[in-house]
Chain A
Amino acid sequence: MWDNISILTAAPVFNIQLILDGLFIGSTFALAAYGLALVWGVMNVKNLAQGDFVIMGGYIAWWLGKQGIHPLWGLPISIVVMFTFGWLVYVTIIRRVIDKDMFTSLLATFGLAIVLAQALNLMFGPEVQTAESDFAIRSYFDNSVTVADIKLVAFALCGVLAVVVVLFMKNSRMGQAIRATAQDARAARVMGIDTDKVYAFTFSLNAAICGAAGALISMIWVIQPFYGIGHSIRSFVIVTAAGFGNLGGVIMAGLGLGVMEQYGGFVLGAEYQQACVVGLLVAVLIYRQLEMRRHRQVVQ
């Protein structure tokens, strides 16, 4: 561990590599987390299948890539397929758990996560996959920092998608309806907004965002059927750290998590990377709780 830290101080250029990798991967985390924050804030559904939606989107892009379609073209297809899938999931499952207690939605989506992970495993096998995008890999700083062009493209696409979603939420009729429902579902219903449709659309939009994030992750990183839970936990870390309705916070937390994960993986060893993410979740939860404890009077 100390050896790795001394490498970082001796060759500062390594830091640039880690930070860049972290930012590129973190941008996709932020995208998926934004979807979770949307569903959480609007419908009060905690979607534990979030990460599996991401992985599913990745597999769509990867599978299309194997059929000879460039994964960047697979991205819009993945978005459309996942939107439809999200709608189906809403109609069959989420609609029925939306007004029940919170653990119900958590457990129902956890069941969904198991189904999706196992179905992907049976369809595509447990191997780790990457969608080949055939972009060049360039080196900077005297060949000590390597960045694949696809990562830059993915980073830019993440930004574009985020802007599109934000503009949609701000200006479109449906976006306004979603925000109105999030503020007060009952009042929105009184005003003639079909909240069921709004919920369906929100959930599908989340699935579509996950599909996009997954397609990008399949190009710049790796996907595997059982990586879903890791992505779900990342999204939860980001949303609990940032709070919902706080887009800037989600982006910062997403990028920060990406960088932190790279550092954790490098300093402690790759086998600790998963544990780092989960440990961070626990740390964030405990921090939030201690923060709240200050505001609460406890019976002694």
Chain B
Amino acid sequence: MESFNPKLHLPILIFGIGAPFVIPGVTIQIAVLWVMVLFALTWDIMGGQMGYNSLGNILFFGSGMYISALVQISMFANVSEYTASSGAVDFSYTNSEYFWGLGWGILAAGIGSALLAASLGWTLFGLRGPYFAIGTLGIALTAGELMGTWEWVGAGGGLAMPVYPGSADGKSFMFYFMCFFAAIGTYLFCSWLYSTRFGLAINAIRDDEQKAEAMGIHTLRYKTIAWSVSAFFLGISGALFGNMTGFVEPLEVAFPVATFGIFMVAMSLLGGKGTLWGPILGAALFHVLKEFTWTYFLGWQWVALGVLIIVNVVFFQQGIMGWLMEKFPERFGIIVDKKETAK
């Protein structure tokens, strides 16, 4: 596990805690930045460290969102009545009801998504390489479509989250810190995970699964745990994001395969997959670029996103961290023997 490095960690911590006080106007945008960091980190557990490139990890974001919504609602109201009224009947929550519901909702979202990943992993992990990517993409697309037809959870019309009992500023303030700590928690967990035997095992799976299996690593177990870990954090982020938005809708909010689902892949690749800091760097850069440019492209932003992915994949596959490692290997503790490498 990385020890505390004041030069690296302190500025981030100061920025993270100070931002909502210093620049309150963009609290939500920065909260989304932390969600993006979480996205990229969780994608990289699978995509970067284990070599299983999933295009459908957004499934767990959506499942977390729905699970937390249903837990929060069903604790104090009847779900079918709630969804049928679509916000017309006022289900007002008291303070304690809201916060207990939120806490249990977030917990259930994490655990439920992890269980979902474990049960899916049993069938999906036999698929290798591109088949795995297409299979996961298929599952995420199906989930969105099916949720859109399920009347009990509001179908295509969506589901309004319980209303935060307080001011709008207080709400964004609270969810900002929850997103921030979720991202920090994910970072710490990943950093610890990669330093253990587990990290080495999933790296071995990435490098050569057959050999890893021959060396006695129970690959299916490791793969399932890795996916459940990433699903756990994604589920929590889904619960937070759903409550922050206040509205759950199947295709655009809960299972946005073509936006968030692709962003997480693009961010990890941009920063450099298979490294701890690459996804974080990629997420920060991507989010800042996106927030600044989105409004100026007037509809062409998606074309720009597609072009970014193509250019990234085709010309800059190692990502920022990979490029830095190639350029300055000494900084990363890699000792280059000049006599051996000189040609």
User: CB within 8 A of B53: which of A97, A103, A272, A278?
Assistant: A103
- Are A285 and B134 touching (Cβ within 8 A)? yes
- Are A281 and B135 touching (Cβ within 8 A)? yes
A125 to chain B, nearest CB (A): 11
Docked CA distance A114–B312 (Å) = 14
Docked CA distance A271–B150 (Å) = 11
Chain A 50-68 interface 0/1 with B at a Cβ cutoff of 8 Å (1 = within)? 0000000000000000000
Q: Contacting chain A: which of B95-103, B162-170, B195-203, B296-304?
A: B296-304
A58 to chain B, nearest CB (A): 19
- Are B134 and A281 touching (Cβ within 8 A)? yes
Q: A100-B317, A107-B313 are in contact. Are A278 and B307 (CB under 8 A)?
A: no
Give chain B residues whose Cβ lies under 8 Å from the Cβ of A271. Answer: 145, 148-149
Question: B213 in the interface, Cβ–Cβ < 8 Å?
Answer: yes
User: CB within 8 A of A111: which of B133, B139, B217, B309?
Assistant: B309
- Which of A107, A113, A122, A233 has most chain B Cβ within 10 Å? A107
Within 8 A of B (CB), among A102-126: 102-104, 106-108, 110-119, 122
B104 to chain A, nearest CB (A): 30
Give chain A residues whose Cβ lies under 8 Å from the Cβ of B310. Answer: 93, 108, 111-112, 115
- Are A285 and B130 touching (Cβ within 8 A)? no
Docked CA distance A298–B214 (Å) = 10
Docked CA distance A13–B217 (Å) = 57
Q: A114-B305, A122-B303, A236-B134 are in contact. Are A96 and B314 (CB under 8 A)?
A: yes
Docked CA distance A114–B266 (Å) = 13
Q: Contacting chain A: which of B110-118, B121-129, B175-183, B232-240?
A: B121-129
B52 to chain A, nearest CB (A): 10
Question: B75 in the interface, Cβ–Cβ < 8 Å?
Answer: no
User: CB within 8 A of B303: which of A118, A274, A299?
Assistant: A118
- Are B305 and A104 touching (Cβ within 8 A)? no
- Are A285 and B145 touching (Cβ within 8 A)? no
Chain A 255-270 interface 0/1 with B at a Cβ cutoff of 8 Å (1 = within)? 0000000000000010
Give chain A residues whose Cβ lies under 8 Å from the Cβ of B314. Answer: 93, 96-97, 104, 108
Question: B262 in the interface, Cβ–Cβ < 8 Å?
Answer: yes
User: CB within 8 A of B130: which of A103, A116, A118?
Assistant: A103
Give chain B residues whose Cβ lies under 8 Å from the Cβ of A187. Answer: none
B135 to chain A, nearest CB (A): 5
Question: B218 in the interface, Cβ–Cβ < 8 Å?
Answer: yes
Give chain A residues whose Cβ lies under 8 Å from the Cβ of B303. Answer: 114-115, 118-119, 122
Identify 20 new A-B residue pairs, CB closer than 8 A, beyond the known A119-B303, A282-B135: A46-B130, A110-B309, A114-B258, A114-B302, A115-B307, A116-B306, A118-B299, A122-B300, A229-B258, A271-B145, A272-B149, A274-B145, A275-B142, A275-B149, A278-B138, A278-B141, A279-B138, A281-B138, A285-B124, A290-B126
Q: Which 4 A-B pairs rank lowest in CB-CB distance, beginning with the nearest? A: A111-B309, A115-B306, A114-B306, A289-B126
7 contacts between A and B (CB under 8 A): A103-B53, A104-B314, A110-B55, A110-B309, A113-B306, A115-B306, A122-B300
